[in-house]
Homo-oligomer: A and B are copies of this chain.
Amino acid sequence: MTPSESHTPQEMMIRKLESIFALTSEEEQALISLPIQIKFLETNRNIVTVGDQPSHCCLIVEGFTCVHKLSVEGKRQIIAFHVPGDIPDLQSLHLQVLDINISSITRCKLGFIKHTDLHQLCEQHPRLTPALWRETLVHASIFREWLLNNGQRSAYSRVAHLICEFMLRLKAVGLVDDTTFTMPVTQAELADATGITPVHANRVLQALRSDGLISTSRQQITIPDWHEIQLAGEFDPLYLHLKEEAIT
């Protein structure tokens, strides 16, 4: 884990919500006193699965997770990646039965928040309801963009687009160091997210590297020219619905 990640669960959650919604200091205080139960998880473990009826929401404090669904033939579609500050199953507040699997793709520090506590929080601070609702709506917007990405763009553009998204979402929670960030996604996971094969994902990454759009070392990605990769990925951050200051 990088040093920058030594934050409380509540701080990460606030930081994330702040990137899409203006919280008052009173609301921040309420969030700070929200009871959150910490758990640590190894890589590639299920957090919740299809059919579960969770009584808690799961906040990513450190590490990364993905949401995925399986076809009958066992093919996996990754629907979303989640970064620190995200609450991948916030939907379970109002949809009793889960229709997705959520798994860790790195070691994770997770914070579990009781539905009842969240409901109570929203009652006491009525502006938090639209804040959380908005959070679920932003994630829905990301699904839509992924549909466009996977449906209409070349494999090359898809991967470039995904890298751009990762960059901005990490930046929003302070996890980007200038032009470099950690993207601990294997090529197999990248493939399952973009609807291509791992072999082709490998070839696309090589092309992106040799075209100078990214340089990689371990799981660190550096983007030398933000404008260029945006162009290659047809990336327009509107769909992330970030506040102005989080986009630059």
Contact = CB atoms under 8 A, between A and B. Distances in A.
Given A152-B71, A234-B71, A147 B143 contact: yes
* Copies of this chain held together in the complex: 2
A138 interface: yes
Interface stretch (A11-19, A73-81, A204-212): A73-81
A241 B151 contact: no
A239 B98 CA distance: 8
A136 B139 contact: no
A161 B94 CA distance: 25
B148 A147 contact: no
Interface residues on A, range: 35 or more
B150 A94 contact: no
Interface in A136-182: 136-141, 143-148, 150-153
Interface of A: 50-51, 67, 69, 71-73, 75-77, 79, 91, 94-95, 97, 99-100, 129-130, 133-134, 136-141, 143-148, 150-153, 194-195, 234, 238-239, 241
Please list the 8 inter-chain residue pairs (A to B) with the smallest Cβ-Cβ separation, ordered nearest first: A151-B195, A140-B140, A143-B143, A75-B152, A77-B148, A77-B151, A69-B148, A99-B239
